Every structure is written in C-alpha cells, then in structure tokens.
Amino acid sequence: MRHSIRQTAKEISEYFNTSDAETRQHAPTLTALVSEMVQDGQPVSNKTLVARLVHKLELESDERQLHNYRLVLEHLLIKNADAAGQ
C-alpha cells in the first residue's frame, strides 16, 4: 500500500505541474479528495473523483465549501469534456 500511495502522490504532483492555472487553483481540494480515496482503498479516476465530489456536495452544509466543491466539479467536467472532444 505504501508504494501505491507514493506512486499516486508522484502522479498527482506531475499532473499539477503540467496543468493549467485553473487546475492548479483547485489543487488543494483535488489533492485532499485523492488522498481520502487512496486511504479508503478506492481507485482514483475521473469517474471516482466526480462521484466523490457529488457525495461531498450531498453531505456538506458549509456554503463556502459547497461553492468550492461545485467549482472543482465544474472544472473536472469541463476538462473531461474538452479531453474527450480532442
């Protein structure tokens, strides 16, 4: 498991280092989500990230955090749609 977490951390770091400014803006939230997923033993993919964000939106009551989750979800969906169209 330790190698898996280390490898995931490396992949996350590479992703953010090669990403646009908007993705880097959402890096803390995305990193926290991925860390939670790895600790829970859940596979990390765009699909599971979206599902985790939707779950967070359903449970969260803090308006600022809800807004943050919505922005990150919107960014992931737009980025995935753009990637699918290329």
Using one digit for the tens of pLDDT, what is the confidence trace for 37-71?
A: 989 999 888 899 999 999 999 999 999 999 999 99
On whether the CB atoms of residues 61 and 52 are closer than 8 A, the answer is no
The rounded distance, in Å, linking the Cα atoms of 86 and 81 is 9
pLDDT at 52 (0 to 100)? 96
> What φ, ψ does residue 40 adopt, rounded to 5°?
-80, -5
Would you say residue 8 has pLDDT above 70? Answer: no
Q: Which two tokens stand for residue 63?
A: 């308006």
The rounded distance, in Å, linking the Cα atoms of 55 and 78 is 19
Identity of the amino acid at 1: M
Fold of the domain spanning 2-85? 1.20.5
Q: Which two tokens stand for residue 71?
A: 């922005």
Query: Would you kindly state where each structural domain of the chain is located, as residue ranges?
Result: 2-85
